[in-house]
Amino acid sequence: MPNHVTLVLFLRLRTMLSSAQDRLRIGDDHGQATTEYALVLLAAALVGLMVVAWATAGGGAARISRLFNGVIDAVIEKI
């Protein structure tokens, strides 16, 4: 279950995306690539924050640790 901060960030990002889409529909295409680039960066940051929130709460860190240990053990076995 996402924490409060993640939910607030998601709702703000969704609002920003909606208003940006409205502006793009109304105006011309000038600056559209810059807007899309910024929105992609915001979406990537949101995904990163959600991963960090998951990893730091409720056993996510243990799962990531097991994953990394498994990967490193598999690589060492191949060497």
CA–CA separation, 69 and 79 (whole Å): 16
Count of domains observed in the chain = 1
How far is Cα 37 from Cα 39, in angstroms, rounded to an integer? Answer: 5
Question: What pLDDT is recorded for position 15?
Answer: 77
- Summarised one tens digit per residue, pLDDT across range 6-54 is 767 777 777 776 766 565 555 556 666 888 888 999 999 998 888 787 7
pLDDT class of 74 with cuts at 50, 70, 90: very high
Residue 10's domain comprises: 4-78
Between CA 25 and CA 2 the distance in angstroms is: 32
pLDDT of residue 1: 46
Query: Residue 68: pLDDT above 80?
Result: yes
